[in-house]
Amino acid sequence: MKAERIGNNRIEKGEGKAQTIGVVGLGYVGLPVAIGFSKQYKVIGFDVDKQKIDLLKKHNDITREISKEELAASDIYFTSDQTDLSLCDYIIVAVPTPINEHNEPDLRYLIAASETVGRNLAGGATIVYESTVYPGATEEICIPVLEKTSGLKSGKDFFVAYSPERINPGDRQHTFQQIEKIVAAQNEAVLEKVAALYQSVIEAPIYKAESIKVGETAKVLENTQRDINIALMNELAMICERVGIDTFDVLEAAGTKWNFLPFTPGLVGGHCIGVDPYYLIHKAKVVGYTPVFLEAARKINDSMAGFVHRTVLDDIIRFKYDLEKLTITVMGITFKENVPDTRNSKALEIVQMLLDDGLSVNIYDPVANPEEVENELGISLTERKNLQPADILLVLVPHQEFLTMTAKEISGFVKKDRALVFDLKNIWRNHQLPSFINRKTL
- Give the C-alpha distances (Å, rounded to integers) separating 157 from 84, 90, 162, 195: 19, 13, 17, 20
Asked whether 150 and 158 are in contact (CB, 8 A), the reply is: yes
Asked whether 252 and 220 are in contact (CB, 8 A), the reply is: no
Three-state DSSP class for residue 369: coil
Confidence of residue 13 (pLDDT cuts 50, 70, 90): very low
Please choose, from the candidates 237, 399, 358, the residue with its C-alpha nearest in 3D space to the C-alpha of residue 307. Answer: 237
Mean pLDDT, all residues of the chain: 93
Length of the chain: 442
Q: Which CATH superfamily is domain 305-440 in?
A: NAD(P)-binding Rossmann-like Domain (3.40.50.720)
pTM for this predicted structure: 0.91
- For the beta sheet containing 392-395, the strands, ordered from the edge strand earlier in sequence to the opposite edge, are 360-364, 327-331, 392-395, 419-423, 437-440
Q: If you count DSSP H runs as helices and E runs as strands, how many of each does the chain have, helices first?
A: 17, 14
Residue 376: its pLDDT value, please?
A: 76
Domain ranges of the chain: 4-209, 221-300, 305-440
221-300: CATH topology: N-(1-d-carboxylethyl)-l-norvaline Dehydrogenase; domain 2 (1.10.1040)
Q: Phi and psi of 359, rounded to 5°?
A: -85, 155
Domains 4-209 and 305-440 share a fold: yes
Which residues neighbour 423 within 8 Å (Cβ) at sequence distance 6 or greater? 395, 429, 439, 440, 441
pLDDT, greater one: 30 or 11: 30
The 10s digit of each residue's pLDDT in 139-190 is 999 999 999 999 999 999 999 999 999 988 887 888 899 999 999 999 999 9
Catalytic residues: 272
The 10s digit of each residue's pLDDT in 251-262 is 999 999 999 999
Task: Report the C-alpha gap between 229 and 79 in whole angstroms.
Answer: 41
The 10s digit of each residue's pLDDT in 179-221 is 999 999 999 999 999 999 999 999 999 999 999 999 999 999 9
Strands 4-6 and 206-208: antiparallel
- Give the C-alpha distances (Å, rounded to integers) separating 12 from 7, 15, 226, 302: 15, 5, 38, 48
Task: Report the C-alpha gap between 437 and 392 in whole angstroms.
Answer: 9
Residue 14: its pLDDT value, please?
A: 37
4-209: CATH topology: Rossmann fold (3.40.50)
Task: Report the C-alpha gap between 286 and 105 in whole angstroms.
Answer: 12
Residue 5: its pLDDT value, please?
A: 38
Which residues neighbour 34 within 8 Å (Cβ) at sequence distance 6 or greater? 21, 23, 26, 43, 45, 74, 76
Q: Is 295 exposed, middle or buried (0-12, 13-18, 19+ CB in 10 A)?
A: middle
Please choose, from the candidates 357, 340, 436, 431, the residue with its C-alpha nearest in 3D space to the C-alpha of residue 389. Answer: 436
Alpha helices of 244-367 — where are they, by DSSP H? 247-254, 276-286, 292-302, 304-318, 346-356
Task: Report the C-alpha gap between 303 and 285 in whole angstroms.
Answer: 23
Helical packing angle, 304-318 and 346-356, nearest 10°: 40
pLDDT of 3 strictly over 50: no
Task: Report the C-alpha gap between 387 and 328 in whole angstroms.
Answer: 10
Residue 169: its pLDDT value, please?
A: 83
Please choose, from the candidates 83, 25, 70, the residue with its C-alpha nearest in 3D space to the C-alpha of residue 49. Answer: 25
Residue 1: its pLDDT value, please?
A: 38
Alpha helices of 19-87 — where are they, by DSSP H? 30-38, 50-57, 68-74
Instruction: Give the angle 111-61-40 at the CA atoms, nearest 5°.
Output: 80
Residue 175: its pLDDT value, please?
A: 87
The 10s digit of each residue's pLDDT in 335-373 is 999 999 998 999 999 999 999 999 999 999 999 989 888
Task: Report the C-alpha gap between 127 and 160 in whole angstroms.
Answer: 5
Alpha helices of 166-209 — where are they, by DSSP H? 188-199
DSSP 87: G
Question: CA gyration radius for the chain?
Answer: 24
Task: Report the C-alpha gap between 203 and 209 in whole angstroms.
Answer: 18
